[in-house]
């Protein structure tokens, strides 16, 4: 397939997916409300009616698994609380991701891609924090990891639900062009421009003496991909046993487990215990 036909097909997929969003998934006006800096708590809470109950419950659980440092913030009771926990842009991406998963009736392939993106987001946030990124930068790492393969996810959904007989949307097409569909989604839903830099990079980016934030995200992606490939679509991590006196509810192991559980992805996570080096 030449580039001209490939980009024509991307336009077709984008148009069909936008119709799908408006007709069956959620009211896209919710993004206008979330992007309105003057929207107050009442307006944001009222916007919850623009998404379905199943989507709301999953968002609610994910927001409840958010940590500040190593402290879990607890239940988010309102839609405004969810936005405050996740951030506006991450909430928007979560609404898209979960909405498409629900539409696909949690098709195994769709769920696998979502699990891989979610794992990348979790690890990108952890690696960013470990490498000295804080605040907004760490949040961007999580968002970038979550969004990185959304073009691939949308192509898979399109082929599964709209054009199951298509021979054009094969693995080669998807691998080559999914970042360009992601860029169209960024523009359609008013997502931040830095996501375009991330999805188009497609490899680790280095600063003069450090790994860049996009580089951190791609390191997380490659870690997750390697695990999914080796362990049958599972994210496998080895954890040292907590030292005596450690609050086990605040360890990285506990944080990761909580996040996967809240997203309904327990089956994709395997945490193993590994002895400390001095104990070998």
pLDDT single digits (tens) 163-214: 888 889 999 999 999 999 999 999 988 899 999 999 999 899 899 999 999 9
pLDDT for position 104:
72
Q: What is the CB-side half-sphere exposure of residue 33 using CA atoms within 13 A?
A: 20
Sequence-separated (6 or more) residues with CB below 8 Å from residue 76: 60, 63, 64, 66, 82, 84, 85
Q: Which helix (DSSP H) or strand (DSSP E) does residue 201 occupy?
A: helix 194-201
User: What secondary structure letter does DSSP report for 206?
Assistant: B
Q: In this structure, what token pair is assigned to residue 117?
A: 């993106």
- 61-90: pLDDT as tens digits: 888 877 655 555 567 889 999 998 888 999
On whether the pTM is more than 0.85, the answer is yes
pLDDT for position 165:
86
Helix, strand, coil % over all residues of the chain, rounded to 5:
65, 5, 30
pLDDT for position 172:
93
Query: Region 16-40: what's the mean pLDDT?
Result: 85
pLDDT for position 271:
96
Sequence-separated (6 or more) residues with CB below 8 Å from residue 237: 227, 253, 256, 269, 270, 271, 272
Query: Taking Cα atoms as reference points, which of 185, 157, 155 lies closest to residue 173?
Result: 155
Give φ, ψ of 274 to 5 degrees: -130, 130
Kindly list the distances between the CA atom of residue 16 and the CA atoms of 19, 44, 162, 242, 264, in Å, as whole numbers in the listed order.
5, 28, 8, 50, 28
pLDDT for position 74:
65
pLDDT for position 249:
82
- 123-179: pLDDT as tens digits: 999 999 999 998 889 999 999 999 999 999 999 988 888 888 888 999 999 999 999
269-273 and 67-68 beta bridge pairing: unpaired
Mean pLDDT of the chain: 89
Task: Considering only residues 27 and 234, tell me which one the structure prediction assigns the higher pLDDT.
Answer: 234
pLDDT for position 274:
87
What SS3 class is residue 174?
Answer: helix
- pLDDT band with cut points at 50, 70 and 90 for residue 99: confident
Domains of the chain, first to last: 3-279 (1.10.3210)
First-to-final CA distance of the chain:
54
Give the 3-state secondary structure of 54-114.
HHHHHHHHHHHCCEECCEECCCCCCHHHHHHHHCHHHHHHHHHHHHHHHHCCCCHHHHHHH
CB burial of residue 183 (10 Å; 0-12, 13-18, 19+): middle
Query: Region 252-270: what's the mean pLDDT?
Result: 93
The answer, yes or no, to whether residue 46 has pLDDT greater than 60, is: yes
pLDDT for position 100:
81
Query: Taking Cα atoms as reference points, which of 139, 146, 142 lies closest to residue 124?
Result: 142
The answer, yes or no, to whether residue 105 has pLDDT greater than 60, is: yes
Task: Considering only residues 263 and 1, tell me which one the structure prediction assigns the higher pLDDT.
Answer: 263
């Amino acid at each position: 397939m030449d580039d001209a036909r490939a980009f024509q097909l991307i336009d077709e997929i984008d148009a069909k997916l936008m119709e799908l969003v408006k007709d069956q998934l959620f009211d896209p006006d919710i993004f206008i409300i979330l992007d309105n800096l003057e929207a107050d708590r009442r307006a944001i809470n009222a916007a919850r009616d623009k998404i379905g109950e199943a989507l709301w419950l999953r968002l609610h659980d994910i927001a409840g698994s958010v940590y500040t440092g190593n402290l879990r913030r607890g239940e988010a009771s309102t839609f405004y609380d969810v936005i405050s926990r996740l951030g506006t842009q991450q909430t928007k991406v979560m609404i898209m991701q979960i909405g498409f998963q629900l539409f696909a009736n949690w098709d195994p392939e769709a769920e696998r891609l979502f699990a891989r993106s979610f794992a990348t987001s979790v690890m990108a946030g952890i690696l960013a924090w470990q490498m000295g990124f804080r605040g907004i930068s760490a949040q961007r790492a999580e968002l970038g990891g979550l969004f990185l393969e959304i073009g691939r996810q949308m192509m898979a959904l399109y082929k599964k639900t709209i054009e199951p007989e298509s021979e054009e949307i094969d693995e080669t097409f998807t691998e080559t062009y999914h970042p360009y569909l992601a860029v169209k989604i960024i523009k359609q839903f008013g997502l931040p421009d830095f996501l375009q830099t991330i999805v188009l990079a497609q490899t680790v980016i280095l600063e003069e003496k450090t790994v860049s934030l996009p580089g951190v995200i791609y390191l997380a992606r490659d870690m997750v991909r390697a695990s999914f490939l080796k362990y049958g679509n599972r994210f496998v991590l080895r954890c040292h046993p907590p030292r005596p006196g450690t609050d086990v509810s605040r360890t990285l192991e506990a944080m990761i487990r909580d996040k996967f559980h809240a997203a309904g992805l327990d089956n994709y996570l395997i945490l193993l215990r590994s002895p400390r080096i001095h104990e070998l």
